[in-house]
């Protein structure tokens, strides 16, 4: 019988240094995950801090954006438009295993630190570029925020009620999924480096990452000529699978497979529905979706969310109450999985921040450092890594370089 290996004191990315030149969500989250797994992450901001430090909501005067996506990082400041900054950036990149940036394509080249230059000063460095539309293609120079990716990818056209307008999702999916792709790209490039001793340029686009989540829909269009349409919360291929009203809220249930539907029919006290010609197979149920959803809706309206949930759970039918953010955050499952954790900040006290969704049994991640203030670690990083003397640090600070 397999055994669980004992936890190691050595984190999976121990010894890896990441230079984080990114801001907002996608790049910072990518670097935070690398930091959670043991990498030494050095976050570079302009003096005064990145733009997202001014985004609401604020906690004790600090944006939750920077608090949520920047733990386990050393914070330094550098005015990249100052003449002296390029040499400092080059020295930092030379000593880094990974450089992560999410500027528009071409910006890093204009700064004098594009891929060719990075590869020249340290052939082993991996450059991870996270942009809106990627380094190639007709849209490469266009700016992108999350909702732009949702609109351009087709996701927005699929979201919302059938008779309503295209709708953006309530969370920034493109940014987060791009961050996860950034982590995967980083790990694959480091694995390749172990074989070749060479770094490479990893090109991640928010648009690409979100479009890749569209599943079978693009292929259905290309291969079958079937374009997709909004259908609210109803599943596209199985019925019943939808959000249904209860006496005190809403519940989502999925009993659309041929194995699950008879169980739902029995739970509803309508076992004859399983042999009704309209509902026997998946195609039959799809052809009669309105009639079947009306039947299920009539049943759910008679019970509370809790009552319905108990009956569905007992029958092994997948379901979930439609929770608010507050209810989900305070749920026993989130608590058990440590998806919200307390982090002690030296200036702000206890912060409750998202935990680690990535679970490794033998080499789990850890929180070693609270999100830094702008330039919090200037003295440490610049002296430890670059050997800059205190007198020069004072001059760089006075000259507006750091």
Domains of the chain: residue spans and CATH: 17-213+341-398 (3.40.50.10540), 241-329 (3.30.1540.10)
Alpha-carbon distances, residue 370 vs 86, 322, 367, 375 (angstroms): 28, 33, 7, 14
Q: What is the mean pLDDT of the chain?
A: 95
The pLDDT value recorded for residue 10 is 86
Cα separation, 236 vs 227, in Å, equals 12
Q: Name the pLDDT band for 2 (thresholds 50, 70, 90).
A: very low
Cα separation, 241 vs 255, in Å, equals 6
The pLDDT value recorded for residue 381 is 97
* H or E stretch covering 142: none
Query: Which tens digit of pLDDT belongs to each residue from 137-192?
Result: 999 999 999 999 999 999 999 999 999 999 999 999 999 999 999 999 999 999 99
Query: Which tens digit of pLDDT belongs to each residue from 313-357?
Result: 999 999 999 999 999 999 999 999 999 999 999 999 999 999 999
Q: Is the pLDDT of residue 209 over 90?
A: yes
Q: Is the pLDDT of residue 8 over 50?
A: yes
43 phi and psi, to 5 degrees? -90, 125
The pLDDT value recorded for residue 6 is 65
CB 181 within 8 A of CB 188: no
Q: Is the pLDDT of residue 126 over 60?
A: yes
Active-site residues, by number, are 175
Mean pLDDT for 259-264 is 98
Mean pLDDT for 38-66 is 95
């Amino acid at each position: 019988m397999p055994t669980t290996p004992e936890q190691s004191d050595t984190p999976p990315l121990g010894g890896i240094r990441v230079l984080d030149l990114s801001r907002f969500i996608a790049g910072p989250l990518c670097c935070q995950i690398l930091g959670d797994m043991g990498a030494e992450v050095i976050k570079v901001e302009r003096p005064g801090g990145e733009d997202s430090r001014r985004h609401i909501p604020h906690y004790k005067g600090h944006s939750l954006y920077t608090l949520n996506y920047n733990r386990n990082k050393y914070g330094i400041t550098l005015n990249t438009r100052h003449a002296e900054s390029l040499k400092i950036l080059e020295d930092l990149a030379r000593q880094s295993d990974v450089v992560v940036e999410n500027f528009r394509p071409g910006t890093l080249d204009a700064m004098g630190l594009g891929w060719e230059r990075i590869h020249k000063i340290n052939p082993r460095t991996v450059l991870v570029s996270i942009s809106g539309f990627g380094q190639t293609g007709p849209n490469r120079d266009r700016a992108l925020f999350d909702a732009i990716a949702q609109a351009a990818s087709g996701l927005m056209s699929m979201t919302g009620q059938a008779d309503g307008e295209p709708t953006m999702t309530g969370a920034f999916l493109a940014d987060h999924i791009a961050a996860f792709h950034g982590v995967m790209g980083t790990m694959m490039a480091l694995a390749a480096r172990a074989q070749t001793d060479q770094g490479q340029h990893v090109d991640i686009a928010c648009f690409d990452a979100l479009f890749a989540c569209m599943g079978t829909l693009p292929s259905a269009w290309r291969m079958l000529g079937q374009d997709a349409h909004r259908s609210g919360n109803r599943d596209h291929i199985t019925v019943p699978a939808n959000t249904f009203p209860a006496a005190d809220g809403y519940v989502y249930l999925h009993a659309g497979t041929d194995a699950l539907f008879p169980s739902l029919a029995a739970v509803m006290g309508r076992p004859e529905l399983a042999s009704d010609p309209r509902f026997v197979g998946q195609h039959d149920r799809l052809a009669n979706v309105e009639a079947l959803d009306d039947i299920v809706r009539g049943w759910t309206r008679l019970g509370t969310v809790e009552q319905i949930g108990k009956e569905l759970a007992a029958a092994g039918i997948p379901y979930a109450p439609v929770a608010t953010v507050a209810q989900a955050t305070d749920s026993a499952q989130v608590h058990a999985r440590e998806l919200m954790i307390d982090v002690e900040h030296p200036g702000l006290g206890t912060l409750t921040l998202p935990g680690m969704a990535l679970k490794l049994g033998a080499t789990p991640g850890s929180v070693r450092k609270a999100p830094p203030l702008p330039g919090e670690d200037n003295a440490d990083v610049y002296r430890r890594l670059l050997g800059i003397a205190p007198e020069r640090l004072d001059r760089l600070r006075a000259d507006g370089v750091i």
